[in-house]
Chains A and B, each alone.
Chain A
Amino acid sequence: MDIEQIRKDFPMFKNNSNLIYFDNAATTFKPSCVLDKIQEYYTHFGVSVHRGTYNLSVAAEHMFEDTRAEVARFINSETSEIIFTANASYALNSVALMIKDTLNSGDHILSSPLEHHSALLPYQNMEQEKGCVLDYINLLPDGRVDMSNFNKLITNNVKVVIVSLVSNTMGYYLDVKQICSIAHKKGAIVIVDMTQGISYYNVDVKKMDCDFAVFSAHKLLGPTGVGVMYGKHKYLEKMSPVFYGGEMIQSVSYHFSKLAPIPYKYEVGTPNIAGVIAFGEAIRYINSIGKDAIHEREQELKNYLIQELSKIQGITIYNMTCDTPIVNFNIDGVPSHDASTFYDSYNVAIRAGQHCAALVTNFLGVNATLRASLYFYNTKEEIDKFIIASKKIVKFFSENK
């Protein structure tokens, strides 16, 4: 992998030459081909999809639908099982609302404290509104999901299991295939939040056998404002959409309307056409580098980052055995937001806070943490500069106690 050449594809590196961007779990940079595609749509196609009777609209629609097919190939689903949403949070909420009618008082929902707020809050709401019970799988001392506890909690009363493929704070990979296999035997459906995981792992929803999955384009080099909701054909066919309106109907009369076939019945209104088309380009770009090569590169970066950061006295790493280059840590005795400002002063962009997963910081027994998250376009030289900055910050605060 020629990283120098790859970095030239990303204008952000050229326009921010001193920036060390280690906040890729929040969002990734976009290669020029993705940005060009957005420009191309607005300057050469610029019309709506799914309703035009003229050639230009058909051309725009082809580009839009090409992305659907590209996404389907990317995760090995059927094309009709791919629904575009505004983002992953929107997709998670949509799935929750779609399955809400199938749940009754006393039904259990099983999740873990590692999940993003967007995964958990809709089900907290169902506890209040429908009398469902949200259970949490215990975490092992290192913060991984305790599979033996999962096996205990997964009973016939559990109707929904919601887990993430990779934790956005701890960077741990979860064997979702095993979760699906066990949950399905008890009759539960499994929703997988792949928002972080799909950046780092090859995903095959058929092999995994999950019932629903969500992710966002912007963590895969694509634009913001585009999310994906995957659902098994059988569920998408029988469930009802959350929103109604234009684009998603076949015929309308005074008191009854016939919905469009899947996936269109779940896509209401004019979509983010430019974003979706550009997302297709992002996937093609990732494919051109190769998911396996990307994974290998990320493992190298992760190992080097952990190795170097763990050498510094005065830093606590909370996920030494992380599977992905998402490192969760604190500088001892320094509130994370203050440390983050110091990193900022050294042109290092990392995240401070609870990372939309407050139950994790709660588990760790801290108010907030620092998160350094890398992507394949980061370099060992950047890690070296990050380590130098870390040492300076530790030194400063130890000298000014």
Chain B
Amino acid sequence: MNEMQEIYRKLLIKYYKNTYNSGLRNTGIQKESKNTSCGDDVIIEAVIKDNVIESIRNDAKGCMICISSASMLCKALEGKSVSEAKLICEEFSKMQKGAQYQETLLGELAIFKCLDSFPARKKCASLSFDAAVEIFMSI
């Protein structure tokens, strides 16, 4: 099994088939991010109180990478302060762009480093992060 298959296997088992915080509650700020060329469409909803992300949920449609990353983002950012969450998003973006990044801050999200071998799919992973960043910019 090659590296990519291993990663897909992990994603599939953990997050594609068993999504995390999937489904919106319409109680927080919602931002949508779409890739019209492939049909990926993610809405992230966050409830932020006293600068802490109390709840973060997703409604993701599209490919496995898109759906998995939306769940992983929610798991990574839930309960974090906004500044911590911003930092994670920034580090994720750096990793995606091939810049220096702090792997320890990303935890499981560092799995998407494998997309360096498949750059056409980076957008699939970053859609939910784009939506989250928009939420942070709006507050």
Chain B residues lying within 8 Å of A367, measured Cβ to Cβ, are 39, 61-62
* CB proximity of B9 to chain A, nearest CB, Å: 5
* Pairwise interchain contact A400-B8, C-beta atoms closer than 8 A: yes
* CB proximity of B109 to chain A, nearest CB, Å: 18
Does A202 have its Cβ within 8 Å of any Cβ on chain B?
Answer: no
With both beta carbons as reference points, the residue of chain B lying nearest to A396 in the complex is identified as B5
In the complex, the number of residue pairs spanning A and B with C-beta atoms less than 8 Å apart equals 47
If A337-B121, A341-B121, A353-B39 touch, does A400 touch B62 (CB 8 Å cutoff)?
A: no
* CB proximity of B53 to chain A, nearest CB, Å: 28
Does A344 have its Cβ within 8 Å of any Cβ on chain B?
Answer: yes
Q: In A299-327, which residues have CB < 8 Å from any B CB? A: none
* Pairwise interchain contact A354-B39, C-beta atoms closer than 8 A: yes
**Could you say which of B37, B61, B65 contacts A338, with CB atoms under 8 Å apart?**
B65
Q: How far is the CA of A22 from the CA of B101 in the complex (A)?
A: 37
With both beta carbons as reference points, the residue of chain A lying nearest to B12 in the complex is identified as A400
Chain B residues lying within 8 Å of A283, measured Cβ to Cβ, are none
Q: In A323-356, which residues have CB < 8 Å from any B CB? A: 334-338, 341-342, 344-345, 352-354
Chain B residues lying within 8 Å of A334, measured Cβ to Cβ, are 64
If A335-B64, A400-B9, A400-B13 touch, does A341 touch B4 (CB 8 Å cutoff)?
A: yes
With both beta carbons as reference points, the residue of chain B lying nearest to A337 in the complex is identified as B63
Does B124 have its Cβ within 8 Å of any Cβ on chain A?
Answer: yes
* CB proximity of A146 to chain B, nearest CB, Å: 27
One digit per residue, 1 when the CB lies within 8 angstroms of any chain A CB and 0 when it does not, for chain B 1-45 equals: 010110011001100010000000000000000000111100000
Number of interface residues of B (CB under 8 A): 21
With both beta carbons as reference points, the residue of chain A lying nearest to B115 in the complex is identified as A341
Chain B residues lying within 8 Å of A401, measured Cβ to Cβ, are 12, 17
Chain B residues lying within 8 Å of A400, measured Cβ to Cβ, are 8-9, 12-13
Q: In B74-99, which residues have CB < 8 Å from any A CB? A: none
Chain A residues lying within 8 Å of B64, measured Cβ to Cβ, are 334-335, 338
Q: How far is the CA of A180 from the CA of B12 in the complex (A)?
A: 51
With both beta carbons as reference points, the residue of chain B lying nearest to A356 in the complex is identified as B37
Q: In A47-79, which residues have CB < 8 Å from any B CB? A: none
Q: Which residues of B are at the interface with A, using a C-beta cutoff of 8 A? A: 2, 4-5, 8-9, 12-13, 17, 37-40, 61-65, 118, 120-121, 124
Q: Provide 28 A-B residue pairs closer than 8 Å at the C-beta atoms, listed in order of the A residue.
A: A335-B64, A336-B63, A337-B38, A337-B40, A337-B63, A337-B65, A338-B8, A338-B64, A338-B65, A341-B4, A341-B118, A341-B120, A342-B4, A342-B8, A345-B4, A345-B118, A352-B38, A353-B37, A353-B38, A353-B39, A354-B39, A367-B61, A367-B62, A368-B38, A396-B5, A400-B8, A400-B13, A401-B17
